[in-house]
């Protein structure tokens, strides 16, 4: 599996011939648009910074779009969406947390989750997470301290931070998150390439990805 970060909350997850896009920004967003074709697009919040389904369409490839709570089974990928709050966009206060299982790897994507806690349903059902992707930058979503606290609660094998450095107010979020986790500052990597066996036994290892 290959995970790459495209800034904001946009991630590309590739497994073989399958490509998933999480929260790609639209052309109306001020965020950098990374155009790549995806088979499945997951949108956690209906905001131009995260709902760029058009930018994840390439050529004749039209992605299957998941944009809210519920259960989905698409191209052998099992997806569960959990209703959650967000303060990122006052006009759109509903965020979706996604639990995604791709060939036995469990990815939990928190999206633009705000407040200071996880919704009850998510706390009860989310377990055995391999990769947790969490916002850390505040500004309407989890800040660095809350993000680390909830990451500990969810007990993932790997934690990938996102939503940092987007504004002047959260430019130090990554440094503060690493300090909160008592983790050494490491050089961001271009992509996270792994097999499930590679992360067995890990406990909350933080992987920082370079904005592609």
pLDDT score at 106: 98
- Domain-wise residue ranges, the chain: 2-206
pLDDT in tens, 100-114: 999 999 999 999 999
pLDDT score at 166: 80
Asked whether 154 and 160 are in contact (CB, 8 A), the reply is no
pLDDT in tens, 148-160: 999 999 999 999 9
pLDDT score at 19: 96
Asked whether 78 and 66 are in contact (CB, 8 A), the reply is no
The span from the CA of 131 to the CA of 144, in Å, is: 18
Record: fold of 2-206: Metallo-beta-lactamase; Chain A (3.60.15)
Asked whether 36 and 58 are in contact (CB, 8 A), the reply is yes
Does residue 183 have a pLDDT over 90?
A: no
pLDDT score at 13: 98
Does residue 168 have a pLDDT over 90?
A: no
Phi-psi region of 37 (alpha: psi -120 to 50; beta: other; left: phi over 0): beta
| Straight-line distance from the first to the last Cα atom of the chain, in angstroms, rounded to the nearest whole number | 17
| pTM for the whole structure | 0.96
Largest separation between any pair of C-alpha atoms in the chain: 46
The span from the CA of 108 to the CA of 134, in Å, is: 8
Average pLDDT over residues 39-45: 97
> Could you tell me where the DSSP H helices lie in the chain?
120-125, 144-154, 173-180, 196-199
Q: What angle, rounded to 10 degrees, do the helices at 173-180 and 144-154 form?
A: 40
């Amino acid at each position: 599996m290959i995970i790459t970060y495209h800034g904001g909350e946009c991630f590309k997850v590739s497994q073989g011939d399958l490509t998933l896009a999480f929260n790609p920004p639209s052309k109306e967003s001020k965020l950098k648009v990374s155009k790549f074709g995806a088979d499945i697009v997951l949108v956690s919040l209906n905001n131009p910074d995260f709902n760029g389904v058009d930018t994840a369409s390439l050529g004749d490839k039209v992605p299957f779009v998941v944009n809210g709570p519920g259960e989905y089974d698409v191209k052998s990928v099992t997806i569960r969406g959990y209703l959650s709050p967000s303060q990122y966009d006052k006009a759109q206060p509903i965020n979706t947390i996604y639990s995604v299982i791709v060939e036995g790897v469990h990815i939990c994507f928190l999206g633009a989750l705000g407040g200071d806690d996880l919704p009850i349903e998510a706390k009860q059902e989310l377990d055995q997470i391999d990769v947790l992707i969490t916002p850390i930058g505040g500004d309407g979503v989890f800040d660095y301290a809350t993000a680390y606290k909830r990451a500990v609660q969810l007990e993932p094998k790997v934690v990938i931070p996102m939503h940092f450095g987007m504004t002047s107010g959260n430019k130090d979020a990554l440094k503060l998150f690493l300090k909160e986790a008592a983790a050494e500052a490491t050089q961001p990597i271009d992509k996270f390439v792994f097999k499930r066996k590679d992360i067995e036994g890990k406990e909350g290892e933080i992987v920082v990805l370079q904005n592609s």
